[in-house]
Amino acid sequence: MLAPPASHNGIEVIGLGQACVDYRGIVPSYPGEDSKMELEGLFSTVGGPAAVAMMALARLGVRTAFIGSIGDDPFGKTIKETLLREKVFSADVKERRGAASQFAFIAVTRGIAARTIFWTRGTAPHLKASEVNLRPYRGARILHVDGLMTEAAVEAARQAKETGMHVVMDAGSFRSGIAGLVAMVDTLIASETFAAPIVSPGTGLEEQLYALRALWVPGMW
């Protein structure tokens, strides 16, 4: 396996967005309220769409970097240590003093793989547009964003397009301001419900895809 990147040089893919600590518990069935159930397994890992994507690519031998915002709490320490262990360059992760990182507990139902997520947002401030600087990443080919830090993601996409990077977005929920980011994306990977706020109830999948496509402005870049 490649050694962790020592600098911005040679990074191929940049991820910008959320990183959190996930605890995943396996249960035989989802329990009723005010009851007990023994976990069949408990696993801990770093979560967040952009962070997970960068770790997955690093395992495939791609040189990746992650840009995000975490607290200086034990969860933040776990996030940084995990990114280092997974060979993801993380020098531009902002560590907020006195802030708490995001955390989630996920109950996964064995057999059907349904998941129920309990999570806390944490108190680490999101990245600001003024904190985004992709210039040191000379030679990077792809920017991957998750839209969870919209202001920073829009600025990153703007900088990426100016240098000829391909912009990919892992889109979960349609948030305020997200339409402007979608307009800058080359490849959109969206959840089944992402387009729901911009279409009529009962709109079919094909019509939802057209609605998302209409957000992109030809010739903008």
The total number of structural domains that make up the chain = 1
Residue range 68-83: mean pLDDT, rounded: 97
147 lies in some domain: yes
Does position 216 have pLDDT exceeding 90, yes or no?
no
Residue range 18-26: mean pLDDT, rounded: 95
Does position 209 have pLDDT exceeding 90, yes or no?
no
155 lies in some domain: yes
37 lies in some domain: no
Which CATH number do you get for residue 164? Answer: 3.40.1190.20
Rounded distance, CA 155 to CA 184, Å? 10
Residue range 61-71: mean pLDDT, rounded: 97
pLDDT of residue 4: 65
Of 75 and 215, the one with more pLDDT: 75
Boundaries of domain holding 208: 13-19+49-96+126-213
What is the average pLDDT value for the chain, to the nearest integer? 89
220 lies in some domain: no
116 lies in some domain: no
42 lies in some domain: no
Q: Which amino acid is at 19?
A: A
1 lies in some domain: no
107 lies in some domain: no
From residue 165, how far is each of 14, 90, 159, 168 by CA, in Å?
A: 10, 19, 9, 10
Tens-digit pLDDT profile for residues 118-171? 999 999 999 999 999 999 998 999 999 998 899 999 999 999 999 999 999 988
Rounded distance, CA 51 to CA 22, Å? 12
% of the chain at pLDDT higher than 90: 68
Tens-digit pLDDT profile for residues 94-114? 999 999 999 999 999 998 889
- pTM (2 d.p.): 0.87
Residue range 29-57: mean pLDDT, rounded: 94
